Amino acid sequence: MSLKLISYKLCPYVHKAAVALRAKGIPYDIAYIDLRRPPDWFRRISPLGKVPLLLVGDDVLFESTAIIEYLDEAHPPRLHPDDLILRAKHRAWILFADACLRDYYRVALREDEAGFEEALARLHGDFDQIESAVTGEPFFAGPEFSLVDAAYGPLFFQLDILAGIHPAIFDPERHPRVVRWKEALVAHPAVRASVVPDFRELYLDWLSMKDSYLAQLWLEGEDGDE
Ligand SMILES: N[C@@H](CCC(=O)N[C@@H](CS)C(=O)NCC(=O)O)C(=O)O
């Protein structure tokens, strides 16, 4: 069955689906759309008007978590654990990645320093939870890459770029496991190769257009470099 991922280049939810596809070695096509001007064909087929979509033959799958679970079930061997209790726990941590992504966007987009610090405190609260959930190394549950890793790879990939602007985004003393896990994920070939080659430049262009504290810091740093 042919697979086509409908994407927006900077979307972490699309990235999550692409990581699962790559980690499982599943061949797929990809089509990028401009979310500011979504094409008519996309509006017609997308139930919620959001990416990612995964076209599986004539079927349209949506919601990144549903997509990665489908991929995992349809293309063995599974990245999810066999044990049902463990699998339910992994599902719950995958859902928590979406809460972290919401807090990540607040960190990226809050307009002033106080707002940024407040958002970062929230994100660090999320990291406190994850710190006690990471049970293995280098990945979430040990040496094997799991669906939880696919879910957090995109979050850490984008946060890692922001950490280049504001290093306090990661605190290795407070969250040593999270930081080691992050390092393993951002270095993983499935995470790195499933974004466009100029992702960093596009991401920083996107950030520069925002009226946010981190965007200001980035632009000030850029001016200083000239
Ligand atoms: N819960 C969705 C979130 C997807 C999502 O928010 N995608 C964004 C791009 S990163 C989008 O398509 N936004 C368009 C819109 O909301 O109109 C998922 O996991 O797939």
Testing ligand 1's pocket by substitution, the residue of 50, 96, 157, 158 carrying the most ligand atoms inside 8 A of its CB is 50
| pLDDT tens by residue, 180-208 | 999 999 999 999 999 999 999 999 999 99
pLDDT computed for residue 134 by the predictor: 97
pLDDT computed for residue 107 by the predictor: 98
pLDDT computed for residue 1 by the predictor: 83
Low-confidence ranges of the chain (pLDDT < 50): none
Ligand 1 pocket, Cβ-based, cut-off 6 angstroms: 8, 11, 13, 35, 49-52, 63-65
Structure tokens at 62: 């949506």
**Ligand 1 mean position, distance from CA 68 (Å):** 15
Tell the residue nearest (CA) to atom 1 of ligand 1.
63
**Ligand 1 mean position, distance from CA 64 (Å):** 9
Q: What is the CATH number of domain 84-192?
A: 1.20.1050.10
pLDDT computed for residue 110 by the predictor: 98
**Ligand 1 mean position, distance from CA 223 (Å):** 33
* DSSP one-letter code for 138: S
Testing ligand 1's pocket by substitution, the residue of 7, 13, 67, 104 carrying the most ligand atoms inside 8 A of its CB is 13
**Residue 62, H or E segment:** strand 59-62
pLDDT computed for residue 224 by the predictor: 63
**Residue 93, H or E segment:** helix 84-109
Task: Give start-end residues of each CATH 1.20.1050.10 domain in the chain.
Answer: 84-192
The answer to whether 97 touches 147, Cβ cutoff 8 Å, is no
Q: Model's pTM, two decimal places?
A: 0.96
| pLDDT tens by residue, 67-81 | 999 999 999 999 999
**Which string of b and e fits 157-176 if b means at least 16 CB within 10 Å?**
bbbbbbbebeeebbeeeebe
Task: Give start-end residues of each CATH 3.40.30.10 domain in the chain.
Answer: 3-74
CATH architecture, domain defined by 3-74: 3-Layer(aba) Sandwich (3.40)
